[in-house]
Every structure is written in C-alpha cells, then in structure tokens.
C-alpha cells in the first residue's frame, strides 16, 4: 500500500486501522489528501480555507505517538474537514458570510476539539450557504461549490462544500450541520451517507447558530461505517450546551457491523405513501426509492403503510420558525464585536451599514421574514401557530413509530440541477426541503444513504432517507448498513476523478 490513489480510496475506518497497524503513516495520508485538494480545488471550490501546516503538524504528532507506543484515538490520522459553521480556534471561521470574513475565533468549538482529541487531522474549512441558509451553496459571497459528479451542477446545501469534498476524496470525512436538511440533502446529491443525529445528541457549542431549536451537527461520509465512527467521537453530553443530552453513547460501529452481517430481522419500515403523490417528485427519485425499499425487504425488513397527516405543513412551519430564530440569533452581528465593520458617522449608522454590507440577500430575506413573524401584531398568527403545528408534526411521528421502527422516504424530491438554474426562485428551493425538515421539527435522527443514479445523462446521485425515533441512531445505522451491503454505489467514483485517472 502507499500509492496516493489507494490511500484516497480507503474508508475513514480503513485509514484509521491502517495507521494504527503501521501500514500507513498519518503524514503520508495527510500529504496525499493535501495533493488531492491542490489538484481539484480549481474546479471544485469545496474549501473556504485549507490548513496544510496544521494538518501536517497533527499528522506528525499521531506518527510520533504511535512510534512512542502511546494509545491512539479512534480517528488517529484520519484527514477530516469542517463546514465553516464550526468554530476553530486560530483558524478563520465565517459561516459562509462576508460579515464574519477575517474572524479568527479565540476558542475551540466542541466539534474541532473532540475530533482533535480523537486524533483526527484537520485539512481545512468547507464552503457553505451563508449561515446555513440555502440548498445549493449559491447563497454565498464566495465561490460556489461544484458537484464532483457533474461540475456544471450544484452539490446541494447548505453543507455543499462538505459533500463535494468527501465525494471528491478531498477529505476522508467531513462534518456538516443540519437545521432543515443541510447534511442529508447535499449527501443525497453527492452519493454520500449523511447523518443528522437526534437533537441534543451532539453538542452545539461552537457551531454558529442559525435556528437553535433545530440545529444539529453530524457526519458526512462515503460509507455508513465512517459516519458511525465519527458519531461515536462527536456524541455525548457537553456542559457548554444546555440542550445536549446526557444519554449513554452506544457502540455505533457494532450496530453497523450487525446490520451489514445480520440484516434487518423483521424490522418494520414505514412509508407515508401520500407524500410520494405530491407534485414535483422526480420519476428517477421515485424509482430509486422503490428499489431501496425492495433492498431493505431483501435484508429482512417489512414495509408498512403509515400516515403523517401534517406532512404538507412542514415546509411552511419550518420557514416561520427557522426565520424567527435566525432573526434573533443574527442580531449579534453588529460590527462591534465580530468580523466585518462598515464604519459610519454614528453607532446606529454603523450597525445599519455593517448589516447592509455584511449580509447577503437570502440572509436579509430571512431576517426580515423572521422579524415580521415575531412582531407583536403577527406573533400569534404566525410564530404561535407554527409552534402548535410543530407539536402536531412531532405527534404524527410519535404515532407512526407505534406502527413501525423506521420511516423511509426520498431525501430530496429531485436530483442535482445546473448551477444558477434556481437561484432566482427561493420558494422553489424551500419546497425541496419537504422530506428533510420533519426530522428537524420533531428532533428525530435521520440518515441519507446512496440509492443509485438518474437514468439519463448527466448521471446524478439519488439518496434515500431513513428517520428513527429519538436516539435510535444504532437502528438507523444498522438499516443503512444492511442496505449498503446489498449495493455498490458507495464504491463508485465521481466523473471528476475518472477524468483525472
């Protein structure tokens, strides 16, 4: 072993084992990934910032520790990259916004800290829609990311840089954040596994807030086992996040191995058929979804019909609550304490000019919408009502889980689309979130897994989503592994890499 191509094709789990066993050094792995980033970034734009010195220093420390016979962490030597929403001490963190350009955090967030403690090597920070608001990575003052499966197409969003980098073998594993699908949707558009954990399973400390009651961090990976490995490192209570859950962290890798070997043993998979009849579901997406159900049945699962009576109200509910929370969270960007400042004659004018210059159009749209729904005159009609519907949606899921173990649906109603094609139609983009936001509103864990490709060119990835009850990550990962064991899509290389070979 040792050729760069072989290194890049290893899973994160495989890399960790090879480094622990001394077959590969962490330094040669880091170098192979840094070379890949150099080669691909001009056409991909997945990275906002690459941190080669840090990566090589962390890798050398892993190699030194191994030589000294010290115990290595579960991610020792594995090259990872973080969505730029995660705070990294000493490394610029922008959350995709010009208002934070140049901000060097004085503290380490929970995610970068836990990854470093587990021995991971940080390659850099990944591009995203500004503050996580978007589905195509085009809401950005920086260069938008391209999809490695078709460079003219979007990689999804808001964790589009994370998805593109993992799919293009520009990192072994990435973290994304998911407020309304931002881990799962780009994962589905880039042939990846994307896991949004139960609300509170992973700390939010050091994850720049968008909508605090919905935000959750999670892994994006090429294989189910890699997502499990990362979740095991990230999960657990954190005294710095009062909403983090103090529940024991199970052995996620054991759940994956059990699912891959043993199948699903009568697990009931619920399908809300009504959702598939809604306008806008692509024919290939539907066909791949049905094929995945068959695959889960082959693994021993039983598919049952369920009802989610308030499914159609989820998008509207989400866009009232998420914008309300965002309008409050983003009030802190005033040009006084963080990042960009547009100096003006008075304090008030400085606030106004800073926010006018620093925020992009989608972020402004959401702040305005959120401020409107929170006004005393409209609070009861919008915010109050949306909170009630959120309760009904959560109840729908709770009732459904009396009849089934997991719920399956497509992840996104359509595959990727050409860059620029939907940029002027925010409402059309919001509707693409219909399958993903229910899990956020109800606080449930959900995973997107590769489910095949479109039938016509360009050949684009399609994902399928599984949602579980609270803290059912082991069951989700087990079912995802059983599915993965019956297909080979996760081994396919995107067009971008084939062109290079």
Residues that bind ligand GLN (CB under 6 A): 132-135, 158, 177-182, 210, 322, 433
Q: Which residues pair with 246 in a beta bridge?
A: none
> Of 299 and 314, which CB lies nearer to ligand GLN in the complex structure?
314
Instruction: With H, G, I as helix, E, B as strand and everything else as coil, classify residue 48.
Output: strand
Query: Which residue, judged by CB position, is nearest to ligand GLN in the bound state?
Result: 182
Alpha helices in 263-313 (DSSP H): 273-276, 283-298
Rg from Cα positions in the chain: 21
Residue 250 Cβ vs ligand GLN, minimum distance, rounded to whole Å: 25
**CB atoms near residue 420 (< 10 Å):** 12
For the bound state, the minimum distance from the C-beta of residue 48 to ligand GLN, rounded and expressed in Å, comes to 16
Residue closer to ligand GLN (CB basis): 55 or 434: 434
Catalytic site residue from 83, 125, 196, 422: 83
27 CB-near residues (< 8 Å, 6+ apart):
56, 59, 60, 63
Annotated active-site residue in 177, 182, 327, 416 = 182
Q: Is 125 a catalytic residue?
A: no
Q: How far is the CB of 229 from ligand GLN (least distance, A)?
A: 23
Q: Kindly report the three-state secondary structure assignment for every residue of 19-35.
A: HHCCCCCHHHHHHHHHH
Shortest Å, Cβ 188 to ligand GLN: 13
Measured from the CB atom, the residue of 120 and 133 that comes closer to ligand GLN is 133
Give CA–CA dist 72/93, Å, rounded. Answer: 28
The candidate with the shortest Cα–Cα distance to 37, out of 86, 94, 79, is: 79
Q: Which is nearer to ligand GLN, 134 or 461 (CB)?
A: 134
3 state SS for 81-147: EEECCECECCECCCCCCHHHCCCCCCCCCHHHHHHHHCCCEEEEEECCCHHHCCCCCCCCCCCCCCE
The residues, any chain, with a CB within 8 Å of residue 299's CB and separated by 6 or more, are 263, 264, 479, 482, 483, 485, 486
Cα dist from 141 to 48, 115, 137, 145, 355, whole Å: 11, 28, 10, 12, 14
Instruction: For ligand GLN, give the closer residue by CB, 158 or 188.
Output: 158
Minimum CB distance to ligand GLN smaller for 94 or for 179: 179
Compute the least distance from the CB of residue 158 to ligand GLN, in Å: 4
CB crowding 271-303: b at 16 or more within 10 Å, else e: bbeebbeeeebbebbeebbeebbebbeebebee
416 is catalytic: no
- Show the tokens assigned to 294: 């068959």
Tokens representing 301? 């699962």
What's the CA gap between 52 and 42, in Å, rounded? 17
Q: C-alpha 238: how far from its chain's center?
A: 20
- 221, 255, 226, 238: which is closest to 113 by C-alpha? 238
Place of tokens 């990944």: 126
158: annotated active-site residue:
yes
Edge-to-edge strands, sheet with 217-221: 47-50, 121-126, 79-83, 173-177, 217-221, 193-196, 446-453, 461-467, 406-410, 268-271, 302-305
Largest CA distance in the chain: 69
From 25, 27, 97, 158, active-site residue:
158
Shortest gap between Cβ of 249 and ligand GLN (angstroms)? Answer: 24
Closest distance to ligand GLN from the beta carbon of 284 (Å): 21
Rounded Cα gap, residues 93 and 212, in angstroms: 19
Mind telling me the catalytic residues? 83, 158, 182
């Amino acid at each position: 072993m040792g050729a760069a191509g072989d290194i890049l094709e290893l899973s994160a789990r495989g890399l960790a084992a090879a480094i622990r066993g001394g077959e590969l050094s962490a330094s040669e792995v880091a170098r192979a990934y840094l070379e890949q980033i150099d080669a691909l970034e001009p056409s991909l734009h997945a990275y906002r910032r690459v941190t080669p010195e840090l990566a090589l220093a962390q890798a050398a420390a892993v190699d030194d520790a191994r030589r000294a016979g010290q115990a290595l962490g579960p991610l020792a030597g594995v090259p990872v990259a973080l969505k730029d929403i995660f705070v990294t001490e000493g490394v610029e963190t922008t959350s995709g916004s010009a208002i934070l350009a140049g901000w060097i955090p004085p503290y380490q967030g929970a995610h970068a800290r836990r990854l470093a403690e587990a021995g991971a090597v940080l390659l850099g920070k990944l591009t995203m829609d500004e503050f996580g608001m978007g589905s195509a990575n085009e809401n950005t003052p920086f260069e938008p990311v391209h999809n490695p499966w078709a460079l003219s197409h979007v990689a999804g969003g808001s964790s589009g840089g994370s998805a593109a980098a993992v799919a293009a073998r520009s990192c072994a594993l990435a973290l994304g954040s998911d407020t309304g699908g931002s881990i799962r949707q780009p994962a589905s558009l880039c042939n990846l596994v994307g896991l949004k954990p139960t609300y509170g399973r992973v700390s939010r400390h050091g994850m720049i807030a968008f909508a605090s009651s919905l935000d959750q961090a999670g892994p994006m990976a090429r294989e189910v086992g890699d997502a499990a490995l990362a979740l095991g490192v990230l999960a657990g209570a954190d005294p710095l996040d009062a909403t983090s859950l103090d529940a024991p962290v199970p052995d996620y890798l054991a759940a994956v191995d059990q699912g891959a070997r043993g199948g699903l043993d009568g697990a009931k998979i619920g399908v809300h058929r009504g959702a598939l009849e809604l306008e806008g579901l692509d024919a290939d997406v539907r066909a791949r979804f049905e094929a995945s159900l068959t695959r889960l049945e082959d693994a021993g699962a039983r598919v049952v019909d369920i009802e989610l009576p308030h499914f159609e109200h989820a998008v509207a509910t989400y866009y009232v609550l998420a914008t309300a929370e965002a309008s409050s969270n983003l009030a802190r960007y005033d040009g006084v304490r963080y990042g960009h400042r547009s100096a003006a004659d008075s304090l008030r004018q400085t606030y106004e000019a800073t926010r006018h210059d620093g925020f992009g159009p989608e972020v402004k749209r959401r702040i305005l919408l959120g401020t409107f729904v929170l006004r005393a005159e409209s609070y009861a009609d919008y915010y109050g009502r949306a909170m009630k519907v959120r309760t009904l949606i959560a109840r729908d899921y709770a009732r459904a889980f009396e009849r089934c173990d997991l719920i399956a649906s497509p992840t996104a109603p359509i595959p990727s689309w050409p860059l620029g094609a939907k940029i002027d139609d925010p409402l059309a983009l919001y509707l693409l979130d219909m399958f993903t936001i229910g899990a956020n509103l109800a606080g449930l864990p959900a995973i997107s897994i590769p489910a095949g490709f479109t039938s016509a060119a360009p050949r684009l990835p399609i994902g399928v989503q599984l949602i579980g009850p609270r803290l059912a990550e082991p069951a989700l990962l087990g079912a995802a592994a059983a599915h993965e064991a019956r297909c080979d899509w996760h081994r396919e290389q995107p067009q971008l890499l084939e062109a290079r070979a």
